[in-house]
């Protein structure tokens, strides 16, 4: 039997396999914390193959929310909705896990009623609010909130209660020597710093009959935070308290968000090693999590006895059948999660709800299931094999239309260049997924020019021809590069390069060139660098540019090039950048409109992706899906 398909007993409850869906915030809720039809649809689509499912974190008090529309377990009025959610999960054969947490100093500062409390008065760097130092009465009160929420979860019919004791949440704020500066019995030594956690779990164990899982960070991943040795000691104590499983993650939202979110820049496997270290010292089941986004990852964890089960969150957001495909219960290729956070974290933070770069069907209820066939079948030509073109072609084909995809050169389009940027190599998995499916399922024609009888042969043309760089005229500047300078055959070494433009492309090109041993200067006309970039990517890139010694000139314009000298001007006057070997233009992009002008008025014509509106990969894929379901 496939080890991943073997049943697992946690406490007295048996899971049908070794997969657990990890909690992922959806922002699909209501202001009062109710479970909504949108929640039910989302979890119904993902319940069929996992051993257990953990819905998004439930808050335990209205003034302790992480997002404004989070699911609540803070009052008895929530029990009917929670019960419906548990019953939905059970109807698919999975066990239901109710996850509760207290953010402490991490409570969302944009929610006016939120309160900020902690073990001490040290603010969370990513929040900024100075928290109130909890008294002993406050500690007992908060423990009571956990107990009341846990009892509601049990009454609602959940099989397990999971308690968040890591990720920089309140319990971790007591555990962390970097945060907890108390001098009473709740601070100082590790034994004292564990007291709040162990008291809480003891009270919960007395209050509920269902098995309790504890989620911890194996390490906080910053100097002064707790380390894996501390968490091994804690895990042993939790086992003695009667906890039935340990779920091991890493990081803190406050100090180490990339580890907290398991961003693609974080090395895969480190959290699995933490789980393995804990497993060696406890007898209860251990759950590993963190970028488990391929079948190989899951098999590696179990075959190497790193954990007893694997938790997957965002991979099930990207592909609801992720587990079913690994277990051989669902045919087809896995739609890959690249751990980019663009849609899942970005969509929630933007108030749009949980989204996904590679899954435009997410959150649309019925569209996550097979799409209905088109009423009138047509012959469709998709022109351009980038991400938008491939998504459109596959979706149109699924709806029953006859589709041909035309591509001049290479499937993936300009996204092939994006994958060359530092920390983005995992994006190649997205191109591989789309290109393999397209070539297996569609007619693909590689040629430079469209057939002359295109209009006669097809009923519809979908243009996905992308965008082109905006190249301003600069005196003395003739030969310039764009992002293609990152290709191995183009990338210089030990040269002086000027990058004109400090947006996403300019910053990533500069970083890639600096990593390759070049002297790089970014010239940016405005003050802000990386406008519109995903905040975590922007922060990491700016840090990297500084580490590599990249010179950044903001509020600066390029005047001219004379010989090998580039002259620029800012508030300090005219400056000269000497011995310049190459210039990269990254001033932005504009839609490629040549074919639109040629075909307009001759055929039913649609534009998607960058040739319609220049945007991110998520925008391209989503616009393609929107177009395809309307044809």
For residue 460, what is the enclosing H or E element? strand 460-463
Give the CATH number, domain containing residue 380.
Answer: 3.40.50.720
The rounded distance, in Å, linking the Cα atoms of 327 and 117 is: 44
Going by pLDDT thresholds of 50, 70 and 90, the confidence category of residue 548 is very high
Task: Decide if 333 is inside a domain.
Answer: yes
Is the domain of 79 the same as that of 168? yes
> Which of helix, strand or coil describes residue 77?
helix
Secondary structure (3-state) at 309: strand
User: Looking at the structure, do residues 172 and 251 belong to the same domain, yes or no?
Assistant: yes
Name the DSSP class of 52.
E
Q: Give Cβ neighbours of residue 504 (< 8 Å, ≥ 6 apart).
A: 530, 532, 533
105-109, long-range: CB within 8 Å, 24+ apart, which pairs? 105/129, 105/131, 105/170, 105/173, 105/179, 105/254, 106/66, 106/168, 106/169, 106/253, 106/254, 107/63, 107/64, 107/65, 107/66, 108/65, 108/66, 108/67, 108/68
Average pLDDT over residues 535-558: 95
296, 423: one domain: no
Q: In this structure, are 353 and 396 located in the same domain?
A: no
Q: What are the distances in angstroms from CA 60 to CA 85, 153, 195, 449?
A: 17, 11, 20, 61
* Statement to judge: residues 583 and 603 lie in one domain: no
Q: Among 367, 393, 416, where does a domain finish?
A: 367
Chosen domain end from 367, 392, 424: 367
Residue 48 belongs to a domain with what CATH number? 3.20.20.70
Helix (H) or strand (E) holding 207: helix 195-207
Domain contains 476: no
H or E element that contains 573:
strand 573-577
| Pairwise CA distance, residues 93 & 87, whole Å | 10
pTM of the model: 0.95
Domain-located, residue 73:
yes
- Arithmetic mean of pLDDT over the chain: 96
State pLDDT tens for residues 22-71.
999 999 999 999 999 999 999 999 999 999 999 999 999 999 999 999 99
Q: How much is the pLDDT for 366?
A: 63
| Percent above pLDDT 90 for the chain | 95
pLDDT digits (tens, 9 = 90+) for 564-579: 999 999 999 999 999 9
Say if residue 393 is in the same domain as residue 513.
no
As a whole number of angstroms, the distance between CA 252 and CA 221 comes to 8
At residue 369 the predicted structure's pLDDT band, cuts being 50, 70 and 90, is confident
In a domain, 474, yes or no: no
pLDDT on residue 25: 97
**What span, in angstroms and rounded, lies between the C-alpha atoms of 331 and 297?**
19
Q: Is the domain of 250 the same as that of 238? A: yes
pLDDT tens, 385-412? 999 999 999 999 999 999 999 999 999 9
pLDDT band at residue 370 using 50, 70 and 90 as cut-offs: confident
> Encoding tokens for residue 362?
């997410």
**CA proximity to 302, closest of 333, 276, 323:** 276
**Domain end marker among 309, 332, 367:** 367
CA triplet 20, 26, 28: central angle to 5 degrees?
130
- pLDDT bin (cut points 50, 70, 90) of residue 367 is low
pLDDT of residue 126: 87
Do 319 and 357 sit in the same domain of this protein?
yes
Same domain, 446 and 332: no
Residue 529: CATH number of its domain: 3.50.50.60
Helix (H, G, I), strand (E, B) or coil at 532: coil
Residue 146 has pLDDT above 90, yes or no: yes
Residues 254 and 314 in one domain: yes
Is there a domain that residue 478 lies in? no
Element (H, E) at 153: helix 136-155
Report d(CA 27, CA 5) in Å as an integer.
Answer: 31
Q: Is residue 92 part of a domain?
A: yes
The whole domain housing 521 covers 483-587
Query: What was the pLDDT predicted at 485?
Result: 97
pLDDT tens track for 413-461:
999 999 999 999 999 999 999 999 999 999 999 999 999 999 999 999 9
Bridge-based pairing of strands 8-10 and 245-249 is unpaired
Instruction: Count the domains in the chain.
Output: 3
Average pLDDT over residues 478-499: 95
Our measurement of the distance from residue 37's CA atom to the centroid of its chain's CA atoms, rounded to an integer in Å, reads: 24
- Crossing angle of helices 79-91 and 37-44, in 10° steps, is 20
Two tokens, residue 613: 């509106």
Instruction: Mark whether 599 and 489 lie in a shared domain.
Output: no
Residue 528 located in a structural domain: yes
Q: What share of the chain is helix, strand, coil (3-state, %, to 5)?
A: 35, 20, 45
What's the distance, Cα to Cα, between the start and end of the chain in Å?
44
Determine the pLDDT at residue 365: 63
Place of tokens 């260049």: 417
Q: How confident is the model at residue 334 (pLDDT cuts 50, 70, 90)?
A: very high
CB 158 within 8 A of CB 52: no
CA angle 219, 223, 226 (to 5 degrees): 35
Domain-located, residue 356: yes
Same domain, 51 and 154: yes
pLDDT at 353: 94
CA torsion 200-203-205-207 (nearest 10°) is -130
């Amino acid at each position: 039997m496939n080890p991943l398909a073997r049943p697992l007993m946690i406490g007295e409850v048996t899971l049908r396999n070794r997969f657990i869906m990890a909690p992922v915030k959806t922002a699909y809720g209501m202001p009062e914390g109710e479970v909504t039809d949108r929640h039910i649809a989302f979890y119904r689509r993902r319940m069929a193959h996992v051993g257990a499912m953990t819905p998004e974190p439930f808050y335990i008090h209205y003034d302790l929310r992480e997002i404004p529309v989070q699911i609540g377990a803070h009052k008895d009025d929530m029990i009917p909705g929670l019960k419906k959610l548990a019953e939905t999960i059970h109807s698919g054969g999975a066990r239901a896990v109710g996850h509760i947490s207290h953010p402490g100093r991490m409570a969302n500062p944009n929610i006016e009623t939120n309160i900020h409390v902690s073990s001490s008065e040290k603010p969370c760097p990513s929040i900024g609010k100075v928290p109130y130092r909890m008294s002993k009465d406050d500690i007992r009160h908060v423990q009571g909130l956990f107990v009341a929420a846990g009892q509601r979860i049990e009454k609602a019919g959940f099989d397990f209660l999971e308690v968040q004791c890591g990720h920089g949440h309140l319990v971790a704020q007591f555990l962390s020597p970097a945060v907890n500066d108390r001098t009473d019995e709740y601070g100082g030594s590790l034994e004292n710093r564990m007291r709040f956690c162990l008291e809480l779990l003891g009270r919960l164990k007395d209050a509920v009959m269902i098995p309790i899982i504890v989620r911890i960070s194996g390490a906080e991943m910053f100097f002064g935070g707790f380390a894996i040795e501390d968490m091994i000691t804690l895990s042993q104590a939790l086992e003695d308290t009667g906890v039935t499983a340990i779920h091991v993650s890493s990081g803190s939202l406050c100090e180490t968000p990339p580890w907290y979110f398991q961003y693609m820049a974080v090395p895969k496997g480190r959290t699995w090693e933490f789980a393995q270290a804990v497993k060696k010292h406890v007898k209860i089941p251990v759950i590993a999590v963190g970028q488990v986004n391929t079948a190989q990852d899951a098999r590696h964890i179990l075959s190497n006895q790193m954990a007893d089960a694997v938790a997957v969150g965002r991979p099930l957001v990207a592909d609801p059948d992720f587990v079913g495909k690994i277990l051989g219960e669902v045919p087809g290729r896995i739609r890959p999660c690249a751990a980019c956070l663009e849609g899942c974290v970005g969509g929630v933070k933007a108030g749009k709800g949980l989204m996904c770069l590679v899954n435009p069907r997410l959150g649309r209820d019925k569209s996550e299931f097979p799409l209905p066939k088109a009423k009138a079948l047509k012959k469709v030509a998709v022109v351009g094999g980038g991400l938008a073109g491939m998504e459109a072609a596959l979706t149109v084909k699924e709806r029953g239309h006859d589709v041909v995809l035309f591509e001049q050169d290479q499937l993936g389009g300009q996204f092939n260049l994006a994958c060359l940027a530092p920390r983005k190599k995992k994006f190649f998995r997205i191109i591989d997924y789309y290109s393999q499916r397209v070539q297996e399922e569609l007619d693909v024609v590689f040629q430079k020019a469209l057939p002359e009888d295109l209009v006669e042969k097809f009923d519809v043309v979908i243009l996905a021809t992308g965008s082109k760089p905006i190249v301003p005229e600069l005196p003395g500047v003739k030969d310039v590069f764009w992002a293609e300078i990152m290709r191995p055959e183009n990338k210089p070494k030990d040269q002086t390069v000027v990058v004109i433009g400090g947006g996403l492309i300019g910053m990533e090109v500069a970083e890639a060139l600096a990593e390759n041993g070049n002297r790089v200067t970014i010239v940016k006309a405005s003050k802000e660098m990386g406008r519109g970039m995903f905040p975590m990517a922007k922060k990491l890139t700016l840090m990297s540019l500084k580490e590599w010694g990249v010179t950044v000139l903001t509020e600066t314009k390029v005047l001219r090039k004379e010989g090998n000298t580039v002259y620029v001007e800012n508030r300090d006057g005219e400056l000269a950048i000497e011995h310049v070997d190459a210039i990269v233009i990254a001033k932005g992009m504009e839609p490629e409109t040549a074919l639109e002008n040629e075909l307009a008025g001759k055929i039913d014509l649609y534009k998607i992706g960058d040739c319609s509106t220049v945007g991110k990969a998520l925008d391209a894929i989503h616009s393609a899906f929107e177009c395809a379901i309307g044809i």
